[in-house]
Amino acid sequence: MAAGVRLTRGLKVSISDYLDKMVVTALSPDRNIRARISDYTNVELGFRPNVYDRYSESDLSHQLARLGLLTWVSYHRGRTEAYQKSQGLSADELAEAEKPSPDGRRQRYEKTLNEITGVGVSAGRVVRIRTTGMMQWEVDLKPGALRQLTEDRFLAEAQ
């Protein structure tokens, strides 16, 4: 049987079958901003009613940075669950598979992976996001942006 494929009642189920259907949501620490990921890369953001105008750039930057981390953690958990289901692993088998490798090359690879930095800037240069290893997030907003943009225009920039 090929890796990532399991026979279930005569059907082949791969991890991509689970990931295709996976929807991940997360809330900002103040619970006023929601992130939703579907179809691997479709990211949607939304504010609770009547909160956008209450934010300062620094407060919203902080909430978005924390939301980035929380969303990544939720996404990673969903991906792990998809792997577990596609492989037909018990909780104990999954825990064993997730143990850190004693292989030095693998450890160096994982260390390097966790040091990768990604930077993105919105089309209008209003939002700048930087993440390192997907575990450290920084969000910078252009000064005055929240008073210049409506909520809908900001969301269009941020997504």
Handedness of CA 139, 141, 119, 76 (dihedral sign): positive
User: For residue 3, what are the CA distances in angstroms to 83, 86, 87, 103?
Assistant: 11, 9, 8, 21
* pLDDT over 70, % of the chain: 92
Determine the pLDDT at residue 127: 97
Contacts of 25 (CB under 8 A, 6+ apart): 34, 35, 36, 37, 74
- Rounded CA separation 76/81 (Å): 9
Query: Which pLDDT score is estimated for 77?
Result: 93
Residue 12 has pLDDT above 60, yes or no: no
pTM of the entire structure? 0.84
In three-state secondary structure terms, 133 is: coil
Q: pLDDT at residue 139 above 80?
A: yes
| Mean pLDDT, range 52-62, rounded to an integer | 97
The region of weakest confidence among 12-26, 39-53, 98-112 is: 12-26
Mean pLDDT rounded to a whole number for the chain: 89
